[in-house]
Structure 1
Amino acid sequence: MLAPSSAPGATGSLQKVKKLNSQDFRELRALCLSQGLLFEDATFPAHSSSIGARLLPQEELWQIQWRRPTELQRNPHLIMDGVSRFDIMQGEIGDCWMLAALGSLTLRKQFLENVLPKDQGFQEDYAGIFHFRFWQYGEWVDVVIDDRLPTINGRFLFVHPRTSNEFWPSLLEKAYAKLRGSYQNLNGGYLSDALVDLTGGVQVQFSLRDPPPDLEEILKAADRSGCLMGCSTPGQARRNIELRNGIVQGHAYTITGAVKIPYRNGWKHIIRIWNPWGHGEWKGPWSDNSRQWDRVEPKYRDALLRNKDDGEFWMSCENFQKQFSWLYICNSTPAFLDFGDEHCSAWSLTSYTNLWSPDLPRRRSHSSSGAASTNPQYFFKVLDHDPNTYNVAISLMQKHAEDERNLKIGFFITKENSRVLKQIFFRTRDVTSYLTLSPGTYAVVPAAAEEQEFQFLLRIFIKNQDYNETPNSLTSPGLPMDVPRENQDSSYKALFLKYANQDSTIDALQLQQLLNEVILKDEMTSLGGRFSFDSCRSILALMDLNSNGRLTLQEFGNLWRCLTKYMDIFSREDRNRSGFLDVAELKSAIQAAGLASDARLLRLLALRYGDAGGRLGFSDFVCCMLRLDTLSHAFQNLAKGGSQILMTAMEWLTLVMYT
């Protein structure tokens, strides 16, 4: 009746995804390759039934031709030069809600790799078959498709890539259409649903007609902590009326950035937004050609402004609230609720699946409604409490066929058999509430306002629980880029426990996984490449006080503080936001770290740690700085304030060969 959602190794987890229609991608591809055939998917055929009967006029349905990319282009690719939101251009279907979520997904590599597996393409083992993964009601589902795409007169009917021979957007859209039953079922939907389907996360919605007073801080914190974000405009979802100011009514957009920049002797909060059409932009203040940019320092203007008709634009926070109606934020845990907190907190998760039925008898209750159903109640404990922050998030999701309407569902919350503390009901797929609860035992009672049974997934997120008592403990992935690093030390314990062995240590392989999944989730730090296994062995050796090839929690804490410091320095010195430091910027970075260097040492560091042009990406910069810092302090300790040290050859070799 109850089980943690997507437990490691369980069916439906990322380690063992559930197969839609029992189709196994590798087995089907191997069979096609052995027979010299291209895959044809009988469960989502190249037929008008996959389009849907009401999406297009009948005469257009008859004109559709299903063409493979190899028939449309001489040299097709799944991905070219990485995955980007600018690869996407919406077609004739009204699935901006899904594409806006997809545009945000391209910015968050830790989620993107879950959805878009790397074991496929047109160059090797091509058999006309592809697969993508989506999260559905507590499980990751692998969706297999063939690559026949609907066209009319050689023109894509639905989403099409900006680069003619790059096909990941079209194929991913087809897989999502198959998951939902047809392309027609993508014609209008909820951005919040798509954000959850692409992440398995929890989402929050803010009405911009009555926005929270700290909206600007919420946006910046969500951007820093790696959340997916989107927004929508008021109006009928399928009308797509473009106003004179460039904003489309009844349309979903992606939020791709939120920053505060110096402007007119003060500071200005601006938000970057992307239109899934791939064109069509805001024409007001802070748009591409607006005069506001003339008063911004060149280093900020050059880093932020992209003057192209690519659908992306900047807007002030004030105009954002006027032009848009809803803001959506989603992450794997509700870490975006910590925007007013000086720490990055861990959240535990417990999930339950069950059936709610109106036919179960009702009994007398102490609740305000006077009676309660004997449908199941779910209990949880709150251990920590801060009246100024949220500490519990509850998400209830209903499961139904795509052609069924959403029921009005919700839940009651009671404390230790007392009266109902809160009740919340909405006619949406996912009802989520965020609470500040004092320590104690609580019960959640799912329910429906209508006399109709439904299957549900209930998820309860609790903040700051004891890590040793919560085996399903999750942490917010990522290190916020603009929060003072000295305030982030509390987050390292949760990360350490997530990746550590049973003996509570981390080896080089686990350190590599942690650094690549957590530190390099940010787009800027990832540009310079991933942490290699050898570099992680070197980093570990520098921090390994016990010389046993493993890091304890204390040693990892020292490394974490170094990493946060280096991220600050790297972010400040990379003034053109290229993701690399040149020799001049490296010199400034070393000085900012309080270390000494000269021209010869700088040249050697650029040769040892830089690329062919002498530039250092973030992973190489970390290795360089850790070694320089460690050996500089080792010299100072051995020299005891002097400028020379005396040591044996073996002492010298022991120092330099292991570190």
Structure 2
Amino acid sequence: MPPPTRGLFVDPEFPPCVSSLVQRGGTPLSPLCDHITWLRPQEICASPRLFPENARLGIGKQGILGDCWFICACFALHKSQKLLHQVFPPAQCTWNEPGYTGCFTCRFWRFGHWVDVTVDDCLPCLGQKLCFSHCEDQGAFWLPLLEKAYAKLHGCYESLWAGQVVDALVDLTGGLVERWSLEDAEDIDRNKMLCRMLDLKNRCAISCSVLHSKEGAGDLGEFHAFTITDIQHGVTKDGQQLILIRVHNPWGRSCWSGAWGRDGDKWALVSKSDSAKFLYDLQDGEFWVEKEEFLQEFNEVTMAFPVDEMEYIQSIWTDCPLLHTQQLYGSWVKGQTAGGSRNNVSFPDNPKFWFVVREQSELYLALMQRPQSGISSADGTHRSQSRSVILKSTPLYAIGLHVWKVEKRRFNLQKTIQSPVVAGTASHSYDRQLHLHCELSPGYYLVIPSTFLRDTEGDFLLRILSSGPITLSEITSNQPKIKTSEDDVKGTWETREVKGQWKKDVNAGGSRNYPSYCLNPTIPFIVPSKAQLMRVTLKQHCQEKHCHAIGFHVYMDPSDRSLSPFVQEPRASCVPHSYSHEVSMMCDLSPGQYIIVPSTYLPNQECDFSVSISTKMERKSIESQETLGKILNEVSVVKMMK
């Protein structure tokens, strides 16, 4: 008979019921909800405990929930006792101790600070067994309790169905995480990566992922994450060097029949004592692979940065402790600070930050966006704009980060951002957190975080971790304002937008290099006498991988309609044609009638487009005196029918 559980804590915010399991449905978990019961550990086994005596038996195994990414990240807590105590605070009363109340508290690093999450210990079960994560030693309950707290943090268990190891590692460590693609890397990069894995295997968590199935000896699944539990050197009987990597499948069952699997034929190449050493103490789901097999079968490696005894994050490349940390919050606001990428003329509108480097330093600049609420629909480990497959439909934006060195705090912004960066993301990516690694000399630096598309709203956290002293501050209105040319003129902007389409063999005439140029659409507009500035913006509406090279010319509209405008030279030209979603330029035009001719570089390239014509007029802005009105109560259709 299990001991009585009456009077124990039941979490009112995350109760043991269906709403804590699923909220939106759409995953394989939904049909099982009616069969799931909630039991406390003392109702599941006779002698429950938080941690097993043998640490190897504390390795996580996945249940029917698709959260392999989270279970793999939890391996980080095996590497550091201090980190384990940070995430799972010690001295909590357990089941056989006085003061046990049935509740436990875990901590997660969320958007810049550690937050406490308290849950009861009622755990989802099918029959008398845990149906989600559990340890190899099923009498240890630290992992299912941590998983429950993480599910509460996300709203329900179903929200953990699919994710990225990198995000869970950040939540559990509060640090930095490196992610390497094994597909794009050259051999020298792979060897460098494997060397770092060997050096750091005992100090940080390392995970690997299969993002798409390959032809090979093993059935590793697809969109699945694994834990690397060990890396060892080996020597064959004839003296050849080996690197063997021990991988754990959170499914907790054998899935590898390769040459170095438990019954593989390559073990005959090493001595019996060596093979026995490697095969001893293999847990369920663990297997060995040789370096070349590993590089062939797996697509990605994820590694958390180590933390030293003084709790400083260490550089993953130099082992140098990052002793100095600064962080600031910011926002991209539509129409104000959401300037988009460097493809847009509005890029300077993005939030801007100073940081000062006091001495030669190794730095990591990390940009984290605050994700909106969302739920995924497929088990997976990775989301990237440029690599592999998009697995989890979280509403993350493509973000980027760029850094310039400046001589003084007063400088020409336009000239600076057109100069080469000292560090920058190669492309905007759909990552929750990304970082730049650089070695910088003393001086002033400008940092601009951005989203790929302009007017994309969101909050972000900018962190700088450095081996030397630094100062980080935001450029605000209290500091010297950096003006663009259009800010120098007082007035208000009036904007007109025209939509159009290039159609093959109709009006997709291409650039002026081609005789068909005159077939392109023409958009008339007038420059009024009170106009001070004109800005013309051409946008193409297409998927990113199908961008055309676009540009435009502005001509004076001839008063004689029998004359072609193309016999004259353009009054303004936005060329050369650029592979961008958007091109724009300021036009200094005298009052009169004009036409805009948008074009793709090559003829017969089809696409929708829009042209925005903004005119800065010499008039005072209107000071609004309106206030927010009362909220209107919606009347339901049912009430109306009654």
For the aligned pair, the TM-score class normalised by the smaller chain equals: 0.5 to 0.7
Measured after TM superposition, the shift of residue 96 of structure 1 is: 0.2
Partner of 1:106, secondary structure, is helix
Counterparts in 2 of 1:242 and 1:191: CA distance versus 1, 3 Å: farther
Report deviation, 1:156. Answer: 2.3
Which residue, 62, 67, 88 being the options, matches 1:90? 62
> 1:285, CA displacement in angstroms?
2.7
Match of 2:168 among 187, 194, 206: 194
Contact 2:252 2:285 in 1 (8 A): yes
Query: Residue type of the partner of 1:377?
Result: K
Q: How does 1:20-59 map to 2 (within 5 A)?
A: 37-53=7-23, 54=25, 55-56=27-28, 59=31
The one-letter code sitting in structure 2 at the alignment partner of 1:337 is: I
Please state whether the residue corresponding to 2:223 is helix, strand or coil. coil
- Residue in structure 2 matching 1:409, options 378, 399, 408: 399
Contact in 2 for aligned 1:243/1:249 (Cα 8 Å): no
Report the 3-state secondary structure (helix = DSSP H, G, I; strand = E; otherwise coil) of the residue aligned with 2:316: helix
Give the structure 1 partner of residue 316 of structure 2.
337
Corresponding position: 1:260 with 2:233: yes
CA contact (8 A) 1:50 1:178 kept: yes
Aligned position for 2:590: none
Identity percentage over the alignment?
A: 30
**What is the alpha-carbon distance in structure 2 between the residues aligned to residue 456 and residue 402 of structure 1?**
15
Deviation at 1:56, TM superposition (A): 4.3
1:194 counterpart SS class: helix
Equivalent in the alignment of 2:550: none
Is residue 233 from structure 1 mapped to residue 210 from structure 2 by the alignment? yes
Bigger Cα displacement from structure 2, 322-331 vs 404-413: 404-413
1:377 aligns with 2:348: no
Aligned position for 1:434: 437
The match for 1:350 among 318, 326, 344 is: 326
| Counterparts of 2:367 and 2:440, CA distance in 1 | 18
In structure 1, distance between residues paired with 2:335 and 2:220: 48
Aligned counterpart, 2:449: 446
Residue of structure 2 equivalent to 1:316: 290
1:209 is paired with a residue of what secondary structure? coil
Q: Does the Cα contact within 8 Å between 1:377 and 1:443 map onto a contact in 2?
A: yes
Letter in 2 for 1:96: C
Q: Which residue of 2 aligns with 1:136?
A: 110
Mapped pair 1:458 → 2:429: no
| Conserved 8 A contact 2:253-2:284 | yes
Structure with greater Cα Rg: 2
Q: Aligned pair in 2 of structure 1 residues 441, 82: CA closer, same or farther (>3 Å)?
A: farther
Q: Which moved more, 1:204-213 or 1:67-76?
A: 67-76
Shift of 1:300: 5.0
Give the match's secondary structure for 2:116.
strand
**Backbone CA RMSD of aligned residues:** 3.2
Distance in 1, Cα, partners of 2:329 & 2:337 = 20
Asked whether 1:221 is paired with 2:225, we answer no
For residue 359 of structure 1, report the CA deviation from its aligned partner: 2.4
Distance in 1, Cα, partners of 2:450 & 2:326: 19
**Residues 372 and 274 of structure 1: is their aligned pair in 2 closer, same or farther, counting only changes over 3 Å?**
same
How many Å apart are 1:267 and its aligned residue? 1.9
Aligned to 2:367: 396
Shift of the alpha carbon at 1:334?
Answer: 6.4
In structure 2, the partner of 1:101 is: 73
Is the Cα–Cα contact under 8 Å of residues 407 and 427 in structure 1 kept in the other structure?
yes
Matches within 5 A, 1:175-214: 175-211=149-185, 212-213=189-190, 214=192
| 1:110 match: secondary structure | helix
Query: Does the 8 Å CA contact 1:406/1:428 hold for their aligned counterparts?
Result: yes
Rate the CA distance shift 1:222–1:75 in 2: closer, same or farther, 3 A: closer
The count of aligned residue pairs is: 422
Equivalent positions of 1:244-643 (< 5 A) are: 245-263=218-236, 264-296=238-270, 300-301=274-275, 303-306=277-280, 308=282, 310-331=284-305, 332=307, 335-338=314-317, 344-360=320-336, 370-382=345-357, 391-403=362-374, 405-416=395-406, 418=416, 419-421=419-421, 422-423=424-425, 424-450=427-453, 451-463=455-467, 465=468
Distance 1:461 1:36 in 2: 49
C-alpha deviation, 1:292, in angstroms:
3.5
Q: After TM superposition, give the deviation of residue 449 of structure 1 in Å.
A: 2.3
**What is the TM-score of this pair, normalised by structure 1?**
0.59
Q: Structure 1 unaligned runs (5+)? A: 1-32, 472-659
| Maintained 8 Å contact 1:278/1:311 | yes
Q: Which has the higher strand share?
A: 2
The AA in structure 2 aligned to 1:166 is A
* SS in structure 2 of the partner of residue 175 of structure 1: helix
Residue 462 (structure 1) shift: 2.3
**Residues 85 and 219 (structure 1 numbering): CA distance in 2 closer, same or farther, change over 3 Å?**
farther
Distance 1:261 1:382, change over 3 A: farther
Q: Structure 2: which 5+ residue stretches go unaligned? A: 375-393, 473-642
Alpha-carbon offset, residue 435 of structure 1: 2.8
Secondary structure of the residue that 1:457 maps to in structure 2?
strand
Query: What is the deviation of 1:148?
Result: 1.0
Contact 2:79–2:204 at 8 Å: present in 1 too? no
CA distance in 2, matches of 1:87, 1:364: 43
Structure in which a larger fraction of residues adopt helix? 1
